[in-house]
Amino acid sequence: MTRIAESLRAGGELSTAQIATICAALCLAVLASALTVVGFLVPEPSSVPWIVVVNRLLALAAIWLTVIGATWLILTRRRSNAVTLREAQLEADKARAAKLRFLQTVSNDIRHHLQTLVLLNGALIRTVDDPKAQKMFAGQGDALAHLSDLMNSLLDITDIETGEVTPAIEEFQLEDVLVTLNEEFRDKARAKQIELEIVRAEAVVRTDRELLTKMLRSLVSNGIRYTEKGKVTVDCQPVTGGLRITVQDTGIGIADDHLADIFDEFYRIDNDPAARDNGLGLGLTIVERISRLLDIKLNVTSQVGGGSMFTLLVPVVANPL
């Protein structure tokens, strides 16, 4: 019984009274079972019929005490586990809320100081003539730009999760967004010697222009980042229910058992070490959060070594004025 009590106490899930009650029930069950066995081994004198009755009662009591004790133990432990899980979830929610409050509080200051550093670095490059110093400032500028991207991603996801982002739904030409993306990423694609093809789209969509642009920017950026040869294509096709925007690449691809994880925070695709960088793994998380915010259907298909294809279904204006 001491070992039983210690094993029950080890998880810290049961009170002393509960442990004592369960141990007592088990003791009674063991005693009743032992007496029953002894009773069955003793010859049954015809002149003492009560022995038969007592034996049967002891057997029945042993069965019921064992069943009740075991059932109580199982239910109590399950209930205790459920309470423990709820408490752990509450603690995790509190920690997450505290993190979001902190980031929300300092977000403006972080953005302001980073922007100041970027501007100062640009001014320093223009004021020095030494090629070596210019190269150093250029490297510093790249590092600041990368840091700015990281912090903006972190603060963007914070704004979305705290409800600070409110969609501004409007009707606009999708072509304007595609032209912006082409101008923003063509040099980056050319530097990696891959092709960036953004197909023209004569369509008027109805959604938030800035948030849709952010989604497509993240998808195109990811496509270029994880593609070493081939191309990244942005295509648009009218379908039932809206306009299907497809961002497809010929990159490293994603394994089937990882597809469910790519939209998680801080998840990074590590199929190819050469494609890794210092990203936080928030780009696709932001895409998924915005898709829910705008009620845009998001889908992904991929094959390791065969590239990935992300699809957005965006509301379209059938007869724009």
**Residue 44: band (very low, low, confident or very high) from pLDDT cuts 50, 70, 90:** low
Residue 192 has pLDDT above 80, yes or no: yes
**Whole-number pLDDT of residue 170:** 92
| Domain 169-314 belongs in CATH node 3.30.565.10 | yes
Residue 307 has pLDDT above 60, yes or no: yes
Cα dist from 187 to 81, 175, 176, whole Å: 56, 19, 19
**Whole-number pLDDT of residue 272:** 47
Residue 289 has pLDDT above 60, yes or no: yes
- pLDDT tens-place string over residues 118-155: 788 788 788 888 888 878 878 887 777 777 777 776 76
Global pTM exceeds 0.75: no
- pLDDT tens-place string over residues 207-265: 999 999 999 998 998 899 888 889 999 999 999 888 999 999 998 888 887 787 777 76
163: alpha, beta or left? (left if phi > 0; alpha if psi -120 to 50): left
**Whole-number pLDDT of residue 38:** 59
Q: Which of 72 and 172 is assigned the larger pLDDT? A: 172
Tokens of 76: 């109590």
Burial 198-207, CB ≥16 within 10 A → b, else e: beebebbbeb
Pairing of strands 195-198, 231-239: parallel
**Whole-number pLDDT of residue 134:** 79
